[in-house]
């Protein structure tokens, strides 16, 4: 299917839609919006919309013209009559711009009805389109505030989406006869991932992160050398919510970018949480980031959420699809179809190609692939991780030994991903009676967990089913939430416990605070379950640091590190060497070229060499600012 301009889309709709049924055709981001005076006709004949969607190969939204909309008050009582009381409706709100009625309820299944019959009945009777919001089993401040931001700015957001749509389906100035990619960060390093993808027509950024463990200019992607014109970018794509992939996006909005940010809904919510937190930490530590919460709020309005496997045109010569990456909730492998059959690029983002408790393994089957850009965090020769089962057993043994000695176990974790993965491991042991001390959750873990429980459809099947059937494994007695006020009690208590605290690499936050208090007691254990970047405190401790200067009561004193320090491999959300090779072998169809990124220089280069040898790929590990011509 070739790329279409808006006028061609309009022509196709006019020629193929049922006579006289469409009164206006509009664009909202990549979606085509059709307005009709006869919404019940399209609800009753939903194959008509499907036929148009297949013809155009685009998502189509069908909406009533405003004249036919039922008055909201009246519609509200009609809806309350239609939906069974057992669904426990929490809220009903109308957005006149999108002709949508948001129904928030506890039992969404009952709202939907058999094959969506209840929803159809609502549309038929009121001409509003119902949108369902699940009330989260754990309240999330982030989700509430994002939903409010979007709801309050409905009119503005519609204008934004229309503008984005006009840009996507514009008349192209030039034919797509070359494609090139430039890493602006994240090549031969872990952190600040950012890739500029260009054709004669389009400029697109894939990821735009910060390196939290770095200082100075190497903290951010290098926009200077590429002479990047931020305000003329067409689109930004975010693979997942970790700051090394999305931490610098608010900067784009501060400096004039007013275009779309494509990602999954969980990515949008988690990235908001992490960006706001990074801004707060920067301010607290007198090392502010070059943007503020205001820029994050602006960014939220420009997010165009995509589901996995949903195909979306994003420029006149690029078509985007996100696939599950298995790394954290909502994480994506990015597939781009460029030009009319000219080139297909797959960007792995951070990828896990193996079993975890939370997520399915990464997708490896694509319509077409010529170039693969792949991460290599654990791509080094010796980065073979133990089996998951063995790692879980090792963790529980470390905990049981420490508890026997009446000590505390501190596990520094990323708030997003590792926390929930380790929580599911510990919940499993607790349920089977192998863990009987409290597990304290400090830092943003609770909030990140709340966001996880709001998107069960992105989690592994059996967790999803457990949540739907009323047993939420994230909300069990084993887990207790701690905040800055109750933290002291946990530290000073004589009782054994497990503490999960952020940040994961001990670059700041509660994990460092616990460490300072627990470090000198040999009964305690510090257990690492995630990647520790070069330069981070975590890495220095792994390397055997025995003493460090700290500030205490205004004086610098030496902190003796007597607690046990253990590293348990195998919990990583990243594919290890074996899985990366497995992914390269399995990916279908077989790419011609592989670019290795997101790894320490030696590891990236070694993996590239191995891939050239083993699979005869044209594989290399580019440096930042190397421009690689793909076509």
In the bound state with Zn ion, the residue whose beta carbon lies nearer, of 42 and 248, is: 248
In the bound state with Zn ion, the residue whose beta carbon lies nearer, of 219 and 242, is: 242
CA 611/CA 381 separation, integer angstroms: 12
In the bound state with Zn ion, the residue whose beta carbon lies nearer, of 316 and 538, is: 538
Query: How far, CA to CA in Å, does 230 sit from each of 196, 204, 219, 226, 252?
Result: 11, 10, 18, 11, 6
Q: How far is the CB of 598 from Zn ion (least distance, A)?
A: 6
Asked if residue 79 lies in contact with residue 132, where contact means CB atoms within 8 angstroms, the answer is no
Q: How far is the CB of 531 from Zn ion (least distance, A)?
A: 9
The window from 110-118, 158-166, 240-248, 400-408 that contacts Zn ion (CB under 5 A) reads 240-248
Residues 6 or more apart whose Cβ sits within 8 Å of residue 630: 179, 180, 181, 343, 345, 370, 371, 593
Q: Can residue 104 be called a binding residue for Zn ion (CB under 5 A)? A: no
Q: Name which of residues 349 to 378 contact Zn ion (CB under 5 A).
A: 350
In the bound state with Zn ion, the residue whose beta carbon lies nearer, of 129 and 273, is: 273
Q: Can residue 242 be called a binding residue for Zn ion (CB under 5 A)? A: yes
Query: How far, CA to CA in Å, does 571 sit from each of 355, 395, 419, 568?
Result: 10, 10, 10, 7
In the bound state with Zn ion, the residue whose beta carbon lies nearer, of 236 and 430, is: 236
CA 187/CA 182 separation, integer angstroms: 10
Q: How far is the CB of 244 from Zn ion (least distance, A)?
A: 4
**Cβ count near 382 (within 10 Å):** 8
Give 101's strand partners. Answer: 94, 130
Number of residues binding to Zn ion, judged by CB under 5 A = 3
Q: How far is the CB of 17 from Zn ion (least distance, A)?
A: 44
Q: How far is the CB of 572 from Zn ion (least distance, A)?
A: 10
In the bound state with Zn ion, the residue whose beta carbon lies nearer, of 203 and 350, is: 350
Asked if residue 306 lies in contact with residue 319, where contact means CB atoms within 8 angstroms, the answer is no
Closest CA to 289 of 219, 384, 193: 219
The window from 34-42, 345-353, 564-572, 575-583 that contacts Zn ion (CB under 5 A) reads 345-353
The window from 13-21, 27-35, 236-244, 314-322 that contacts Zn ion (CB under 5 A) reads 236-244
CA 391/CA 568 separation, integer angstroms: 6
CA 292/CA 288 separation, integer angstroms: 9
Angle at 87 between CA 85 and CA 89, to 5 degrees: 85
In the bound state with Zn ion, the residue whose beta carbon lies nearer, of 385 and 524, is: 385
Q: Can residue 337 be called a binding residue for Zn ion (CB under 5 A)? A: no
Q: Name which of residues 8 to 47 contact Zn ion (CB under 5 A).
A: none
CA 35/CA 37 separation, integer angstroms: 7
The window from 347-355, 388-396, 534-542, 575-583 that contacts Zn ion (CB under 5 A) reads 347-355
Burial 35-62 (b: 16+ CB within 10 A, else e): bbebbeebbeeeebbeebbeebebbbbb
The window from 343-351, 358-366, 382-390, 474-482 that contacts Zn ion (CB under 5 A) reads 343-351
The window from 107-115, 238-246, 279-287, 610-618 that contacts Zn ion (CB under 5 A) reads 238-246
Asked if residue 268 lies in contact with residue 146, where contact means CB atoms within 8 angstroms, the answer is yes
Q: Can residue 244 be called a binding residue for Zn ion (CB under 5 A)? A: yes
Closest CA to 268 of 293, 288, 254, 249: 249
CA 21/CA 44 separation, integer angstroms: 13
Site string (190-229) toward Zn ion, x via CB under 5 A: ----------------------------------------
In the bound state with Zn ion, the residue whose beta carbon lies nearer, of 121 and 244, is: 244
Q: How far is the CB of 377 from Zn ion (least distance, A)?
A: 7
The window from 41-49, 162-170, 344-352, 430-438 that contacts Zn ion (CB under 5 A) reads 344-352
Q: Residue 402: in which H helix or E strand, if any? A: helix 388-404
Q: How far is the CB of 452 from Zn ion (least distance, A)?
A: 15
Query: What Rg do the C-alpha atoms of the chain give, in angstroms?
Result: 25
Asked if residue 499 lies in contact with residue 410, where contact means CB atoms within 8 angstroms, the answer is yes
Q: How far is the CB of 532 from Zn ion (least distance, A)?
A: 13
Q: How far is the CB of 212 from Zn ion (least distance, A)?
A: 11
DSSP state of 588: B
Q: How far is the CB of 247 from Zn ion (least distance, A)?
A: 10
Residues 6 or more apart whose Cβ sits within 8 Å of residue 166: 6, 27
CA 415/CA 280 separation, integer angstroms: 15
In the bound state with Zn ion, the residue whose beta carbon lies nearer, of 244 and 447, is: 244
Beta-strand relationship, 408-412 and 525-528: parallel
Give 566's strand partners. Answer: 527
Tokens matching residue 324 = 């599950």
In the bound state with Zn ion, the residue whose beta carbon lies nearer, of 204 and 325, is: 325
Q: Can residue 58 be called a binding residue for Zn ion (CB under 5 A)? A: no
Q: How far is the CB of 362 from Zn ion (least distance, A)?
A: 12
Q: How far is the CB of 210 from Zn ion (least distance, A)?
A: 11
In the bound state with Zn ion, the residue whose beta carbon lies nearer, of 160 and 595, is: 595
Q: How far is the CB of 239 from Zn ion (least distance, A)?
A: 8
In the bound state with Zn ion, the residue whose beta carbon lies nearer, of 327 and 566, is: 327
Query: How far, CA to CA in Å, does 586 sit from each of 278, 397, 582, 599?
Result: 37, 35, 6, 21
In the bound state with Zn ion, the residue whose beta carbon lies nearer, of 244 and 421, is: 244
| Sites of contact with Zn ion (CB under 5 A) | 242, 244, 350
């Amino acid at each position: 299917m070739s790329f279409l301009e808006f006028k061609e889309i309009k022509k196709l709709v006019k020629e193929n839609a049922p006579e006289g049924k469409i009164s206006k055709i509009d664009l909202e981001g990549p979606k085509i919006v059709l307005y009709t005076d006869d919404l019940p006709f399209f609800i009753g004949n939903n194959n008509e919309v499907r036929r148009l969607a297949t013809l155009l190969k685009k998502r189509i939204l069908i909406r009533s013209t405003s004249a036919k909309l039922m008055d909201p008050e009246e519609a509200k009582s009609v809806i309350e009559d239609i939906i069974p009381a057992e669904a426990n409706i929490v809220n009903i709100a109308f957005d006149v711009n999108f002709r949508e009625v948001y129904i928030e309820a506890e039992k969404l299944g009952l709202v939907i009805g058999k094959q969506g019959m209840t929803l159809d009945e609502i549309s038929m009777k009121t001409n509003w389109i119902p949108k369902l919001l699940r009330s989260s089993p754990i309240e999330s401040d982030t989700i509430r505030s994002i939903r409010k931001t979007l709801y309050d700015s409905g009119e503005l957001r519609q204008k934004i989406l229309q503008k984005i749509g006009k840009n996507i389906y514009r008349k192209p100035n030039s034919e797509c006869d070359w494609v090139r990619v430039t890493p602006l960060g994240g090549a031969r390093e872990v952190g600040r991932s950012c890739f500029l993808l260009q054709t004669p027509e389009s400029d697109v950024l894939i990821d735009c992160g910060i390196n939290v463990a770095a200082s100075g200019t190497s903290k951010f992607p290098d926009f200077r050398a590429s002479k990047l014109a931020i305000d003329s970018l067409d689109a930004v794509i975010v693979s997942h919510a970790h700051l090394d992939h999305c931490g610098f996006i608010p900067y784009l909005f501060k400096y004039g970018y007013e275009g779309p940010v494509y990602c999954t809904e969980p990515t949008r919510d988690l990235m908001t949480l992490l960006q706001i937190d990074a801004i707060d930490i920067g301010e607290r530590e007198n090392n502010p980031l070059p943007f503020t919460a205001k820029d994050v709020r602006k960014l939220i309005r420009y997010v165009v959420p995509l589901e996995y496997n949903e195909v979306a045109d994003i420029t006149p010569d690029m078509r985007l699809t996100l696939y599950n990456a298995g790394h954290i909730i909502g994480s994506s492998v990015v597939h781009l179809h460029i030009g009319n059959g000219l080139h297909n690029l797959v960007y792995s983002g951070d990828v896990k190609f193996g079993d975890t408790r939370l997520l399915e393994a990464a997708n490896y089957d694509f319509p077409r692939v010529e170039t693969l850009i792949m991460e290599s965090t654990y791509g080094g020769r010796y980065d073979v991780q133990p089996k998951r089962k063995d790692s879980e057993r090792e963790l529980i043994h470390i905990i049981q030994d420490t508890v026997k000695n009446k000590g505390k176990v501190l596990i520094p974790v990323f708030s997003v991903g590792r926390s929930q993965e380790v929580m599911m491991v510990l919940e499993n042991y607790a349920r089977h009676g192998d863990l009987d001390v409290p597990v304290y959750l400090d830092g943003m873990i609770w909030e990140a967990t709340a966001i996880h429980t709001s998107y069960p459809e992105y989690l592994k099947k059996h967790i999803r089913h457990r949540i739907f059937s009323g047993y939420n494994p994230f909300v069990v007695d084993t887990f207790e939430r701690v905040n800055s006020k109750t933290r002291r009690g946990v530290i000073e208590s004589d009782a054994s416990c497990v503490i999960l605290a952020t940040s994961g690499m001990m670059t700041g936050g509660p994990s460092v605070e616990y460490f300072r208090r627990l470090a000198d007691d040999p009964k305690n254990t510090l257990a690492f379950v995630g990647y520790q970047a070069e330069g981070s405190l975590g890495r220095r401790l792994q390397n055997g640091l025995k003493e460090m200067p700290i500030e205490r009561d205004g004086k610098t004193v030496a902190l003796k590190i007597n607690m046990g320090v253990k590293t348990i491999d195998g919990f990583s959300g990243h594919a290890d060497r074996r899985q990366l090779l497995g992914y390269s072998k399995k990916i279908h169809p077989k790419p011609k070229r592989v670019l290795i990124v997101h790894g320490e220089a030696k590891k990236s280069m070694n993996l590239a060499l191995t891939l050239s040898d083993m699979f005869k790929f044209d594989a290399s590990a580019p440096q930042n600012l190397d421009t690689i011509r793909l076509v």
